[in-house]
Amino acid sequence: MYRYDEFDHSLVKERVEQFRGQVARRLAGDITEDEFKPIRLMNGLYLQLHAYMLRVAVPYGTLSSKQLRKLAEIARKYDRGYGHFTTRQNLQYNWPALKDVPAILDELASVEMHCIQTSGNCIRNVTSDQYAGAAKDEVEDPRIISEVIRQWSTFHPEFSFLPRKFKIAVSATEEDRAAIKVHDIGIQVVRNDKGEIGYQIYVGGGLGRTPMIGKKIGDFVPKADLLAYLEAVMRVYNMNGRRDNLYKSRIKILVHEIGAEEMQRQVEKEFAEIRKTGALNLPQDELDRIEAYFADPAFEALSDDANDLDAAIAADQGFAHWVTNNTAAHKKPGYAIVNISLKPIGGTPGDCSADQMDVVAGLAEKYSFDELRVTHEQNLTLAHVRKGNLKAVYDALKAADLATANVNLITDQIACPGLDYCNLANARSIPIAQEISNRFADMERQHDIGELKINTSGCINACGHHHVGHIGILGVDKKGVEYYQVTLGGSADENTAIGDILGPAFTEQDLPNAIEKIVKIYLDTRQDGERFIDTYRRVGIQPFKENVYEAH
């Protein structure tokens, strides 16, 4: 993975010093909370319902074992012994004291981490595929260009006060695990027929109040020109994005209002001008320097057959389920990708205790070349595990309550923090996810239902990605009572779709029964091998509308 050099270190250290001074001014009462707000928001520090919340950046979701151990240490020392992994592949601490924040930032800096680009109207921490470097059909490791973007976007002088926050995601495989079409900019790494690598650019995707799917405006941006192209998009947006209304200021609204073609025209024009100056041309030696950090680790030449996996699977039903659901094919024979579910039955999606972090850090160190990934679905991934080691990894995870074999199943839910933590929320999300998880706890039943993604948000800002859940749940407040609106058919993969509203919202008590009915209709309707989303796409919303609301 990428390692800081003296320049990267210097920037982060100076940022910590700057913020230490700012916090001291706040604690001394020299500045008011109002004056402090824009400052703390440039350092990942939010004020929530009950406490400050500190959001730590995990660039493109990659962590070393050492970094994860540090996150565990901070959770113990300065927080309540746990952290929360988010849909942005970041980690949040929910209970830090303001006076401790500079010390926490120091600790983070010691392992090349920080809270830069995790809040404010800047280009946020870039996200990517958790299978990077391990996926079979990858054009190139998407983290190479993600790191280039990280550096270019850090303290960008022109784009630190955008109309609104700005999120960029990168995918380099046909299967999209980074949800690039629901980002402000989605980048698909592609190869043209001459064998050259370049980038397809999608703009204007996003969730929130006005969900939109990104439009492709760049077909093949050459490698050396990527930053020039991104700068062109950003400049068009910075100058023309709406600033009169917070809810209309994302780039998706600009693209929607002027149209994708006009957006493309303006970007191309700006791109041509920037390109002429050559200032943003990416030198090959810098690309090579960064690429070297993401070279394959020292894989052994193995065979897919030469291990005792089959015997172990036959001997242990729990392990068999786990291998089926939580592991994925690796590009190298004899290796597998391991997904670690942070969705124990009845638990809080994405929460991870300090002890669990230490366990995962140890496993990554021992079995996966010392690094791991955070996924946008709030799980963790060990990208390179020898198949012969799967049982040992499983046993260790099981002992730490981390072996729930539910990845991509109905209890592998995304949920925002909701009204339990967030001051924007209208309704609770975590208890809803927990209730559904408990309802569908039975493993055999979950496996029978198959792939089904339920996403829950506690308000229309959609941090729980409800629009792109196969089943989406949106909490709303009606005269002081929490209600839940259900959407069906959403998807965040390469076939991105925004879910359709099922009908009137449900009370908290009625919601689990409604989910049960939806699942039953799917099971009764599905044809051979169909996943929920396949059945939905075939039959549409009508059978669900007709049957979910009928009285018993």
Partner 1 sequence: MKLIKNGNFVEQDFVAVGADDALPDGAVIVPLERWETERDSLVTRNTPIGVKLESGQHPERIRDDLDHLSVVALDFPIYRNGRAYSYARLLRDRYGYEGEVRAVGNVLQDQFYFMVRCGFDALEVQDKITPEVFEQSVGAFTYAYQAAADDRPTVMSLRQRLAARAGEARAAQ
What type of residue sits at position 305? D
Cβ 166 to partner 1 shortest distance, Å: 12
Residue closer to partner 1 by CB (options 279, 306) is 279
Q: How many residues does the chain have?
A: 552
Cβ 118 to partner 1 shortest distance, Å: 17
Alpha-carbon distance of 105 to 118, in angstroms, equals 13
Query: Does position 125 bind partner 1 by CB under 8 A?
Result: no
Among 27, 97, 239, 329, binds partner 1 (CB under 8 A): 239
Among 219, 261, 273, 448, binds partner 1 (CB under 8 A): 273
Query: Does position 442 bind partner 1 by CB under 8 A?
Result: no
Cβ 250 to partner 1 shortest distance, Å: 14
Among 48, 210, 238, 408, binds partner 1 (CB under 8 A): 238
Alpha-carbon distance of 480 to 327, in angstroms, equals 43
Query: Does position 10 bind partner 1 by CB under 8 A?
Result: yes
List beta partners, residue 507.
483
Is residue 392 packed enough to be buried (19+ CB in 10 Å), middle (13-18) or exposed (0-12)?
A: middle
* 4-12, 86-94, 251-259, 512-520 -> range binding partner 1 (CB under 8 A): 4-12
Alpha-carbon distance of 429 to 423, in angstroms, equals 13
Query: Does position 5 bind partner 1 by CB under 8 A?
Result: yes
Other beta carbons within 10 Å of 247:
13
* 6-14, 62-70, 98-106, 329-337 -> range binding partner 1 (CB under 8 A): 6-14
User: How far is the CA of 440 from the CAs of 15, 324, 525, 530, 534, in angstroms?
Assistant: 46, 18, 19, 19, 21
- Going by DSSP bridges, is the β-strand pair 454-457/471-478 parallel, antiparallel, or unpaired? parallel
Binding mask 148-187 for partner 1 (x = CB under 8 A): ---xx-xxxxxxxxx-------------------------
Residue closer to partner 1 by CB (options 106, 158) is 158
* 188-196, 261-269, 277-285, 382-390 -> range binding partner 1 (CB under 8 A): 277-285
Alpha-carbon distance of 420 to 425, in angstroms, equals 9
Strands, E assignment, 94-214:
127-128, 168-171, 185-191, 197-203
3-state secondary structure (DSSP) of residue 53: strand
Alpha-carbon distance of 147 to 141, in angstroms, equals 11
Site for partner 1 in 27-46 (CB under 8 A): 38-39, 42
* 276-284, 291-299, 415-423, 454-462 -> range binding partner 1 (CB under 8 A): 276-284
Query: Does position 372 bind partner 1 by CB under 8 A?
Result: no
Cβ 26 to partner 1 shortest distance, Å: 13
Is residue 289 packed enough to be buried (19+ CB in 10 Å), middle (13-18) or exposed (0-12)?
A: exposed
Supply 479's token pair: 């005269």
Query: Does position 542 bind partner 1 by CB under 8 A?
Result: no
Contacts of 277 (CB under 8 A, 6+ apart): none
Alpha-carbon distance of 548 to 510, in angstroms, equals 11
Cβ 235 to partner 1 shortest distance, Å: 5
Cβ 456 to partner 1 shortest distance, Å: 31
Cβ 17 to partner 1 shortest distance, Å: 9
Supply 445's token pair: 């039943």
Residue pair 64/368 in contact (Cβ under 8 Å)? The answer is: no
Cβ 43 to partner 1 shortest distance, Å: 11
* 61-69, 147-155, 318-326, 530-538 -> range binding partner 1 (CB under 8 A): 147-155
Cβ 207 to partner 1 shortest distance, Å: 22
Residue closer to partner 1 by CB (options 243, 331) is 243
Query: Does position 243 bind partner 1 by CB under 8 A?
Result: yes
Cβ 279 to partner 1 shortest distance, Å: 4
- How is 301-346 classified by DSSP, letter by letter? ---SSSSSHHHHHHH-HHHHHHHHHHEEE-SSTTEEEEEEP---TT
Residue closer to partner 1 by CB (options 95, 152) is 152
Binding mask 389-418 for partner 1 (x = CB under 8 A): ------------------------------
Cβ 237 to partner 1 shortest distance, Å: 9
Alpha-carbon distance of 337 to 329, in angstroms, equals 6
- Going by DSSP bridges, is the β-strand pair 481-488/471-478 parallel, antiparallel, or unpaired? antiparallel
Alpha-carbon distance of 134 to 361, in angstroms, equals 19
Other beta carbons within 10 Å of 242:
16
**Phi, psi angle pair for 160, to nearest 5°:** -100, -5
Among 29, 283, 480, 504, binds partner 1 (CB under 8 A): 283
Contacts of 528 (CB under 8 A, 6+ apart): none
Binding mask 11-30 for partner 1 (x = CB under 8 A): x--xx--x---x--------
Residue closer to partner 1 by CB (options 125, 339) is 125
Give the residues lining the site for partner 1 (CB under 8 A): 5, 7-8, 10-11, 14-15, 18, 22, 38-39, 42, 121, 151-152, 154-162, 235, 238-239, 243, 273, 277, 279-280, 283, 285-286, 289
